[in-house]
Amino acid sequence: MNIVALEPESVRTRPPSWQAIVKSAIRDSGQLLQRLDLAGHLPGSPTEEKNFPTFVPETWLRRIQPGDPQDPLLLQVLPRLAEDAVVPGFVTDAVGDLEAEQAPGLIQKYHGRALLITSGACAVHCRYCFRRHYPYGQAPVSMPQFDDALEVVRQDTQIDEVILSGGDPLMMVDNKLQQLIEMIEAIEHVRRLRIHTRLPVLIPQRVTSGLVGMLKKTRLAKIVVLHINHPQEIDADVRQAMLQLVECHALLLNQAVLLKGVNDDLETLITLSKQLVDSHCQPYYLHQLDRVAGVAHFEVPEAEGCKLIEQMRGRLPGYAVPRYVRESPGESSKTVIV
Ligand SMILES: *Cc1c(COP(=O)(O)O)cnc(C)c1O
Ligand code: SF4
Protein backbone atom coordinates (compact mmCIF):
# COMPACT_ATOMS: atom_id res chain seq x y z
CA MET A 1 0.00 0.00 0.00
CA ASN A 2 2.82 2.34 0.80
CA ILE A 3 4.70 1.73 -2.41
CA VAL A 4 2.59 4.19 -4.38
CA ALA A 5 3.25 6.88 -1.81
CA LEU A 6 6.96 6.17 -1.69
CA GLU A 7 7.62 6.33 -5.39
CA PRO A 8 7.17 10.04 -6.05
CA GLU A 9 9.27 10.72 -3.00
CA SER A 10 12.22 8.73 -4.35
CA VAL A 11 11.88 10.49 -7.69
CA ARG A 12 11.93 13.85 -5.97
CA THR A 13 15.08 13.12 -3.96
CA ARG A 14 17.12 11.75 -6.86
CA PRO A 15 19.96 14.22 -7.43
CA PRO A 16 19.53 16.28 -10.60
CA SER A 17 21.56 15.24 -13.65
CA TRP A 18 24.36 17.49 -14.86
CA GLN A 19 22.22 18.39 -17.87
CA ALA A 20 19.38 19.51 -15.59
CA ILE A 21 21.85 21.68 -13.67
CA VAL A 22 23.04 23.26 -16.94
CA LYS A 23 19.43 23.88 -18.01
CA SER A 24 18.49 25.61 -14.77
CA ALA A 25 21.57 27.87 -14.70
CA ILE A 26 21.07 31.57 -13.96
CA ARG A 27 21.21 33.60 -17.18
CA ASP A 28 20.64 37.11 -15.91
CA SER A 29 22.96 39.26 -13.81
CA GLY A 30 20.05 40.94 -11.97
CA GLN A 31 18.77 37.56 -10.87
CA LEU A 32 22.28 36.49 -9.87
CA LEU A 33 22.65 39.53 -7.61
CA GLN A 34 19.21 39.05 -6.16
CA ARG A 35 19.98 35.46 -5.21
CA LEU A 36 23.08 36.69 -3.38
CA ASP A 37 21.34 39.46 -1.45
CA LEU A 38 23.19 42.01 -3.55
CA ALA A 39 20.30 43.51 -5.51
CA GLY A 40 20.98 47.19 -6.11
CA HIS A 41 24.48 46.84 -4.76
CA LEU A 42 26.36 47.16 -8.03
CA PRO A 43 25.93 49.56 -10.94
CA GLY A 44 24.19 48.40 -14.12
CA SER A 45 25.18 45.68 -16.53
CA PRO A 46 27.56 46.23 -19.47
CA THR A 47 26.49 46.14 -23.14
CA GLU A 48 28.89 43.21 -23.42
CA GLU A 49 26.44 41.11 -21.44
CA LYS A 50 24.33 40.90 -24.62
CA ASN A 51 27.21 39.30 -26.57
CA PHE A 52 28.39 37.11 -23.72
CA PRO A 53 25.47 36.59 -21.36
CA THR A 54 25.58 35.70 -17.69
CA PHE A 55 25.65 31.95 -17.19
CA VAL A 56 26.02 30.53 -13.68
CA PRO A 57 24.89 27.07 -12.53
CA GLU A 58 23.46 26.55 -9.04
CA THR A 59 26.40 24.33 -8.10
CA TRP A 60 28.70 27.36 -8.46
CA LEU A 61 26.27 29.82 -6.90
CA ARG A 62 26.24 27.74 -3.72
CA ARG A 63 29.96 28.36 -3.24
CA ILE A 64 29.57 32.16 -3.34
CA GLN A 65 29.28 34.01 -0.04
CA PRO A 66 25.92 35.87 -0.10
CA GLY A 67 26.16 39.59 0.59
CA ASP A 68 29.82 39.89 -0.47
CA PRO A 69 30.23 41.91 -3.67
CA GLN A 70 33.96 41.08 -3.72
CA ASP A 71 33.53 37.31 -3.48
CA PRO A 72 36.24 35.76 -5.70
CA LEU A 73 33.79 33.34 -7.31
CA LEU A 74 31.24 36.07 -7.97
CA LEU A 75 33.86 38.31 -9.59
CA GLN A 76 34.64 35.56 -12.10
CA VAL A 77 31.06 35.38 -13.37
CA LEU A 78 29.43 38.79 -12.82
CA PRO A 79 29.37 41.11 -15.86
CA ARG A 80 30.73 44.49 -14.86
CA LEU A 81 30.61 47.86 -16.61
CA ALA A 82 34.39 47.78 -17.06
CA GLU A 83 33.89 45.17 -19.80
CA ASP A 84 32.66 47.90 -22.13
CA ALA A 85 35.88 49.89 -21.80
CA VAL A 86 38.02 49.98 -24.95
CA VAL A 87 41.60 49.51 -23.81
CA PRO A 88 44.49 49.67 -26.29
CA GLY A 89 46.21 46.29 -26.68
CA PHE A 90 43.11 44.29 -25.78
CA VAL A 91 41.80 42.70 -28.98
CA THR A 92 39.33 40.02 -30.12
CA ASP A 93 41.83 37.30 -31.11
CA ALA A 94 44.61 37.88 -28.61
CA VAL A 95 46.27 34.49 -28.94
CA GLY A 96 46.24 34.01 -32.72
CA ASP A 97 43.83 31.05 -32.65
CA LEU A 98 42.28 31.91 -36.00
CA GLU A 99 45.63 32.01 -37.77
CA ALA A 100 46.61 28.62 -36.34
CA GLU A 101 43.46 26.90 -37.57
CA GLN A 102 44.28 24.00 -39.92
CA ALA A 103 40.65 22.99 -40.50
CA PRO A 104 37.42 24.32 -39.02
CA GLY A 105 37.75 23.66 -35.28
CA LEU A 106 41.27 22.20 -35.42
CA ILE A 107 43.99 24.46 -34.05
CA GLN A 108 47.61 23.47 -34.21
CA LYS A 109 50.18 25.82 -32.78
CA TYR A 110 52.66 23.48 -31.15
CA HIS A 111 54.67 20.47 -32.29
CA GLY A 112 52.98 17.10 -31.79
CA ARG A 113 49.76 18.43 -30.27
CA ALA A 114 46.55 19.35 -32.05
CA LEU A 115 43.63 21.03 -30.35
CA LEU A 116 40.07 20.22 -31.34
CA ILE A 117 37.27 22.65 -30.54
CA THR A 118 34.58 20.20 -29.53
CA SER A 119 31.83 22.43 -28.26
CA GLY A 120 31.00 26.10 -28.18
CA ALA A 121 29.21 25.67 -24.89
CA CYS A 122 30.50 25.92 -21.34
CA ALA A 123 28.97 25.28 -17.93
CA VAL A 124 29.73 28.84 -16.92
CA HIS A 125 30.64 32.11 -18.61
CA CYS A 126 33.92 33.32 -17.14
CA ARG A 127 34.10 37.05 -17.67
CA TYR A 128 37.85 36.94 -18.44
CA CYS A 129 37.48 34.17 -21.06
CA PHE A 130 40.09 34.33 -23.84
CA ARG A 131 37.78 32.62 -26.31
CA ARG A 132 34.79 34.85 -25.66
CA HIS A 133 35.01 36.22 -29.21
CA TYR A 134 35.84 32.90 -30.93
CA PRO A 135 33.51 32.16 -33.87
CA TYR A 136 32.07 28.93 -32.45
CA GLY A 137 29.35 29.00 -35.08
CA GLN A 138 31.90 27.66 -37.60
CA ALA A 139 33.30 24.89 -35.38
CA PRO A 140 32.36 21.24 -36.01
CA VAL A 141 29.35 19.79 -34.20
CA SER A 142 28.48 16.56 -36.02
CA MET A 143 30.52 13.36 -36.20
CA PRO A 144 31.23 13.77 -39.95
CA GLN A 145 32.51 17.30 -39.24
CA PHE A 146 34.78 16.03 -36.46
CA ASP A 147 35.95 13.35 -38.84
CA ASP A 148 36.93 16.04 -41.36
CA ALA A 149 38.81 18.05 -38.70
CA LEU A 150 40.67 14.91 -37.59
CA GLU A 151 41.90 14.34 -41.14
CA VAL A 152 44.67 16.83 -40.29
CA VAL A 153 45.74 14.53 -37.44
CA ARG A 154 45.52 11.40 -39.62
CA GLN A 155 47.80 12.98 -42.22
CA ASP A 156 50.47 14.07 -39.75
CA THR A 157 52.11 11.15 -37.95
CA GLN A 158 53.99 13.59 -35.72
CA ILE A 159 50.79 14.46 -33.88
CA ASP A 160 50.64 12.00 -31.00
CA GLU A 161 48.36 13.99 -28.72
CA VAL A 162 44.86 15.28 -29.35
CA ILE A 163 43.55 17.95 -27.02
CA LEU A 164 39.81 18.31 -26.63
CA SER A 165 38.99 21.90 -25.84
CA GLY A 166 36.19 24.35 -26.45
CA GLY A 167 34.12 25.77 -25.00
CA ASP A 168 34.08 22.75 -22.75
CA PRO A 169 34.41 19.28 -24.32
CA LEU A 170 32.54 17.68 -21.43
CA MET A 171 29.42 19.57 -22.50
CA MET A 172 29.10 16.77 -25.06
CA VAL A 173 26.85 13.98 -23.90
CA ASP A 174 28.52 10.69 -23.06
CA ASN A 175 27.63 8.75 -26.18
CA LYS A 176 28.81 11.50 -28.52
CA LEU A 177 32.02 11.84 -26.55
CA GLN A 178 32.46 8.08 -26.74
CA GLN A 179 32.15 8.19 -30.54
CA LEU A 180 34.67 11.00 -30.76
CA ILE A 181 37.17 9.15 -28.55
CA GLU A 182 36.78 6.05 -30.73
CA MET A 183 37.49 8.13 -33.81
CA ILE A 184 40.68 9.45 -32.21
CA GLU A 185 41.72 6.00 -30.97
CA ALA A 186 41.47 4.71 -34.52
CA ILE A 187 44.37 6.96 -35.51
CA GLU A 188 47.28 4.71 -34.71
CA HIS A 189 49.97 7.31 -34.10
CA VAL A 190 47.87 9.16 -31.50
CA ARG A 191 48.90 8.00 -28.04
CA ARG A 192 47.47 10.61 -25.71
CA LEU A 193 44.11 12.22 -25.16
CA ARG A 194 44.01 15.47 -23.28
CA ILE A 195 40.79 17.03 -22.05
CA HIS A 196 40.73 20.68 -21.05
CA THR A 197 37.63 21.12 -18.95
CA ARG A 198 36.05 23.15 -16.23
CA LEU A 199 32.97 20.97 -15.87
CA PRO A 200 34.16 18.69 -13.03
CA VAL A 201 34.64 21.91 -11.06
CA LEU A 202 31.48 23.72 -12.12
CA ILE A 203 29.19 20.71 -12.06
CA PRO A 204 30.94 17.74 -10.41
CA GLN A 205 27.92 15.58 -11.33
CA ARG A 206 29.37 15.60 -14.86
CA VAL A 207 31.83 12.91 -13.79
CA THR A 208 29.25 10.20 -14.51
CA SER A 209 29.86 6.47 -14.39
CA GLY A 210 29.61 6.60 -18.19
CA LEU A 211 32.47 9.10 -18.41
CA VAL A 212 34.55 7.15 -15.92
CA GLY A 213 33.91 3.96 -17.90
CA MET A 214 34.99 5.41 -21.24
CA LEU A 215 38.14 6.94 -19.77
CA LYS A 216 39.07 3.65 -18.12
CA LYS A 217 38.49 1.76 -21.34
CA THR A 218 40.44 3.78 -23.88
CA ARG A 219 43.92 2.66 -24.96
CA LEU A 220 45.01 6.32 -24.96
CA ALA A 221 46.90 7.83 -22.03
CA LYS A 222 44.66 10.44 -20.45
CA ILE A 223 45.51 13.88 -19.21
CA VAL A 224 42.71 15.96 -17.71
CA VAL A 225 43.50 19.64 -17.29
CA LEU A 226 41.10 21.36 -14.92
CA HIS A 227 40.73 25.08 -14.53
CA ILE A 228 40.46 26.19 -10.92
CA ASN A 229 41.42 29.72 -9.93
CA HIS A 230 40.55 29.90 -6.26
CA PRO A 231 40.46 27.39 -3.36
CA GLN A 232 36.84 28.31 -2.61
CA GLU A 233 35.92 26.56 -5.89
CA ILE A 234 36.88 23.20 -4.39
CA ASP A 235 34.08 21.75 -2.26
CA ALA A 236 33.52 18.14 -1.18
CA ASP A 237 31.75 17.24 -4.44
CA VAL A 238 34.57 18.69 -6.55
CA ARG A 239 37.12 16.77 -4.47
CA GLN A 240 35.15 13.59 -5.06
CA ALA A 241 35.00 14.25 -8.83
CA MET A 242 38.77 14.81 -8.91
CA LEU A 243 39.42 11.53 -7.13
CA GLN A 244 37.15 9.70 -9.57
CA LEU A 245 39.21 11.07 -12.47
CA VAL A 246 42.42 9.97 -10.79
CA GLU A 247 40.92 6.51 -10.37
CA CYS A 248 40.57 6.36 -14.17
CA HIS A 249 44.37 6.69 -14.26
CA ALA A 250 44.09 10.16 -15.73
CA LEU A 251 46.98 12.49 -15.02
CA LEU A 252 45.21 15.38 -13.35
CA LEU A 253 46.59 18.89 -13.87
CA ASN A 254 45.28 22.36 -13.12
CA GLN A 255 45.67 25.63 -14.91
CA ALA A 256 44.66 28.87 -13.30
CA VAL A 257 44.55 32.39 -14.66
CA LEU A 258 46.06 35.15 -12.55
CA LEU A 259 43.14 37.51 -11.96
CA LYS A 260 43.06 40.84 -10.19
CA GLY A 261 40.84 40.76 -7.11
CA VAL A 262 40.35 36.99 -7.41
CA ASN A 263 43.65 35.23 -6.81
CA ASP A 264 46.45 37.83 -7.01
CA ASP A 265 47.36 37.14 -3.45
CA LEU A 266 50.07 34.89 -2.00
CA GLU A 267 47.98 33.11 0.64
CA THR A 268 45.21 32.38 -1.87
CA LEU A 269 47.65 30.87 -4.38
CA ILE A 270 49.39 28.80 -1.70
CA THR A 271 46.09 27.44 -0.37
CA LEU A 272 44.98 26.65 -3.92
CA SER A 273 48.17 24.72 -4.66
CA LYS A 274 47.96 22.75 -1.42
CA GLN A 275 44.32 21.84 -1.96
CA LEU A 276 45.01 20.74 -5.52
CA VAL A 277 47.91 18.53 -4.49
CA ASP A 278 45.82 17.05 -1.68
CA SER A 279 43.31 15.99 -4.35
CA HIS A 280 46.05 14.48 -6.54
CA CYS A 281 45.96 17.36 -8.99
CA GLN A 282 49.20 19.02 -9.98
CA PRO A 283 49.36 22.81 -10.40
CA TYR A 284 50.50 23.00 -14.04
CA TYR A 285 50.20 26.53 -15.34
CA LEU A 286 49.42 29.92 -13.89
CA HIS A 287 48.45 31.94 -16.96
CA GLN A 288 49.07 35.58 -17.44
CA LEU A 289 45.72 36.97 -18.62
CA ASP A 290 45.30 36.94 -22.40
CA ARG A 291 44.70 40.46 -23.62
CA VAL A 292 41.22 39.96 -24.98
CA ALA A 293 38.83 42.87 -25.46
CA GLY A 294 36.66 43.41 -22.36
CA VAL A 295 38.95 41.85 -19.74
CA ALA A 296 41.49 44.60 -18.98
CA HIS A 297 40.15 45.10 -15.44
CA PHE A 298 41.34 41.57 -14.54
CA GLU A 299 44.97 42.15 -15.54
CA VAL A 300 47.77 41.81 -12.98
CA PRO A 301 51.17 43.23 -14.04
CA GLU A 302 53.71 40.51 -14.87
CA ALA A 303 56.18 41.86 -12.34
CA GLU A 304 53.62 41.21 -9.60
CA GLY A 305 52.97 37.71 -10.91
CA CYS A 306 56.71 36.95 -10.85
CA LYS A 307 56.96 38.13 -7.26
CA LEU A 308 54.04 35.91 -6.23
CA ILE A 309 55.63 32.85 -7.85
CA GLU A 310 58.97 33.52 -6.18
CA GLN A 311 57.25 33.84 -2.82
CA MET A 312 55.39 30.58 -3.47
CA ARG A 313 58.74 28.86 -4.09
CA GLY A 314 59.82 29.85 -0.62
CA ARG A 315 56.80 28.17 0.93
CA LEU A 316 55.91 25.13 -1.18
CA PRO A 317 57.56 21.99 -2.54
CA GLY A 318 58.70 22.39 -6.14
CA TYR A 319 55.88 20.23 -7.55
CA ALA A 320 53.26 22.54 -6.02
CA VAL A 321 54.51 25.69 -7.78
CA PRO A 322 52.90 26.18 -11.22
CA ARG A 323 54.82 27.49 -14.22
CA TYR A 324 53.85 31.10 -14.81
CA VAL A 325 53.21 31.37 -18.55
CA ARG A 326 51.99 33.72 -21.20
CA GLU A 327 50.64 32.86 -24.62
CA SER A 328 52.11 34.93 -27.43
CA PRO A 329 50.82 34.48 -30.99
CA GLY A 330 53.34 32.88 -33.33
CA GLU A 331 55.53 31.28 -30.61
CA SER A 332 56.36 27.56 -30.73
CA SER A 333 55.23 27.01 -27.14
CA LYS A 334 53.73 28.90 -24.26
CA THR A 335 56.28 31.37 -22.97
CA VAL A 336 57.48 30.60 -19.45
CA ILE A 337 57.75 33.91 -17.58
CA VAL A 338 59.16 32.35 -14.43
C1 LIG B 1 47.92 25.89 -24.79
C2 LIG B 1 47.76 25.15 -26.04
C3 LIG B 1 48.23 23.83 -26.16
C4 LIG B 1 48.85 23.09 -25.01
O5 LIG B 1 50.11 23.56 -24.64
P6 LIG B 1 50.92 22.79 -23.52
O7 LIG B 1 52.09 23.64 -23.25
O8 LIG B 1 51.27 21.44 -24.10
O9 LIG B 1 50.01 22.62 -22.34
C10 LIG B 1 48.10 23.19 -27.37
N11 LIG B 1 47.54 23.79 -28.44
C12 LIG B 1 47.09 25.05 -28.36
C13 LIG B 1 46.49 25.67 -29.57
C14 LIG B 1 47.17 25.77 -27.16
O15 LIG B 1 46.68 27.01 -27.10
S1 SF4 C 1 35.09 27.56 -19.05
FE2 SF4 C 1 36.91 28.18 -20.24
S3 SF4 C 1 36.18 28.46 -22.35
FE4 SF4 C 1 34.36 28.42 -20.97
S5 SF4 C 1 33.94 30.58 -20.47
FE6 SF4 C 1 35.28 29.77 -18.85
S7 SF4 C 1 37.37 30.27 -19.53
FE8 SF4 C 1 36.01 30.46 -21.32
Cα distances (angstroms) measured from residue 203 to each of 34, 130, 287: 22, 21, 23
Domains parsed from the chain with CATH numbers: 19-84 (no CATH), 101-336 (3.20.20.70)
Provide, rounded to the nearest whole percent, the portion of the chain with pLDDT above 70: 96
- Pocket flag, ligand 1, residue 163 (CB < 6 Å): yes
**What average pLDDT does this structure show over 173-195?**
98
Buried b (16+ CB within 10 A) or exposed e, 304-317: ebeebbeebeeebe
In tens, the pLDDT along 234-287 reads: 999 999 999 999 999 999 999 999 999 999 999 999 999 999 999 999 999 999
pLDDT of residue 93: 87
Identify which ligand lies nearest to the alpha carbon of 136: 2
In tens, the pLDDT along 50-104 reads: 999 999 999 999 999 999 999 999 999 999 999 999 999 999 888 888 889 999 9
Ligand 1 centre distance from Cα of residue 108 (Å) = 8
Average pLDDT taken over every residue of the chain: 94
pLDDT of residue 23: 97
When comparing pLDDT for 12 and 244, which is higher? 244
**What average pLDDT does this structure show over 152-176?**
96
pLDDT of residue 2: 46
- Ligand 2 atom with least separation from CA of 130: 8
Strand-pair category, 323-326 with 335-336 = antiparallel
Q: Going by CA atoms, what residue is nearest to atom 8 of ligand 2?
A: 129
pLDDT band at residue 1 using 50, 70 and 90 as cut-offs: very low
- Pocket flag, ligand 1, residue 114 (CB < 6 Å): no
- Ligand 2 atom with least separation from CA of 257: 7
Ligand 2 centre distance from Cα of residue 47 (Å) = 19
**Which residues fall within 8 angstroms of residue 15, CB to CB, at 6 or more apart?**
205
